[in-house]
Amino acid sequence: MIWQTHPTPELLQAACANTLCEHLGMVFTEVGPDSITATMPVDHRTKQPAGLLHGGASVALAESLGSIASSILVDRKLKMPVGLEINANHLKSVTSGTVTGRVTPIRLGSTVHVWNIEIRNEKSELVCTSRLTVVIVDQRVAKT
């Protein structure tokens, strides 16, 4: 297990109150030994005008999963994870239902975390693959 604490989906959900995660309807469903899973609806909040899942919504889900994963790996009194770079390949369109994102580590260093995020539709088809790089900074640096 990679987690320093014992996070639960309920604790992660509570941490997302009044944030973009909550606004987009993200729901944390599982915490595995080295992964976190969350769902997001494909609805009026997450669709583009053409009726498809907005790529930015997929990226928001990916970055939320990776950032939250990094945040539970560091001592938040001393350190803070900050997104440095994200990329996403949108592979399949989605027009309704729910998508599920799952984050797993690629590399967990003392100052840089790299995460892989896969987003799948209700048929478990891969609709987006993303990689997030997070830099771990001192809390005093983050506040300046």
Catalytically active residues are 63
H helix runs in the chain, sequence order: 9-15, 20-23, 55-71, 139-142
Q: How many beta carbons lie within 10 A of that of residue 21, not counting itself? A: 23
Residue 12 φ then ψ, to 5°: -65, -40
Beta pairing partners, 116 = 104, 131
For residue 111, list its beta bridge partners. none
| Residue 98 CB contacts under 8 Å (≥ 6 apart), including other chains | 39, 40, 41, 42, 122
Closest CA to 100 of 127, 123, 84, 119: 119
